Structure 1
Amino acid sequence: MKLQFDNLLSFHSVVTHGSFSSGARKLGKSQSTVSGAVKSLENELGYELIDRSESGITLTPRGKKIYQLTIQ
């Protein structure tokens, strides 16, 4: 499976900076673009990586594994 690099980069930025809006700012992209990229990554993989709530984001167990791969 070949994943889109931009989608992985968006995911990494969101997690590293703690929110979709902060991650998007660091990438110089809109929040909706970054959100869509993460959603596309989740669709490609077939599972959710981030639990979204009003109080913030948390990684799912699979999301933690994917994030660890992006920092190695």
Structure 2
Amino acid sequence: MNPSLEQLKALLAAAETGSFSAAARKLGKSQSVVSTAIANLEIDLGLALFDRSARYPVLTEAGTRIHQEASILLAQSERLQAIAGELAAGIESRLTLAIDD
């Protein structure tokens, strides 16, 4: 049970766009890739993340909670990549001091 970043990106895109096909367009993937990623994520987590009974999928209560955590995780992943890029480019961390009388 180790969700991949790609699965989490598919979850966020589907939740934000309101459909798996729109999520696929946003991610530049096929609809079947997004559907499979979300289905596998649901299997891995043992949770139904979307209610598919209506025309468009809607996050379940569990899906809403996982969506929140996935957002945080992906933001941290982007931050990690940015820091790694800065370090690889030789950019040092910045320290700012403010002194007040």
TM-score normalised to structure 2 length: 0.66
Deviation at 1:25, TM superposition (A): 0.1
- What residue in structure 1 maps to residue 47 of structure 2? 47
Deviation at 1:4, TM superposition (A): 1.1
CA distance in 2, matches of 1:20, 1:53: 14
- What residue in structure 1 maps to residue 68 of structure 2? 68
Would you say how many aligned residue pairs link Structure 1 and Structure 2?
72
Residues 15-54 of structure 1: per-residue CA shift (max 9 Å, x gap): 0111001000000000011000000000000111001134
**Which consecutive residues of structure 1, in runs of 5 or more, have no partner in the other structure?**
none
CA distance in 1, matches of 2:7, 2:42: 9
| RMSD (CA atoms) | 1.2
TM-score normalised to structure 1 length: 0.90
CA distance in 2, matches of 1:2, 1:44: 7
**Which consecutive residues of structure 2, in runs of 5 or more, have no partner in the other structure?**
73-101
State the structure with more CA Rg: 2
Q: 4+ runs of 1 displaced by more than 3 Å?
A: none
- Over the matched positions of the two proteins, sequence identity in percent amounts to 43
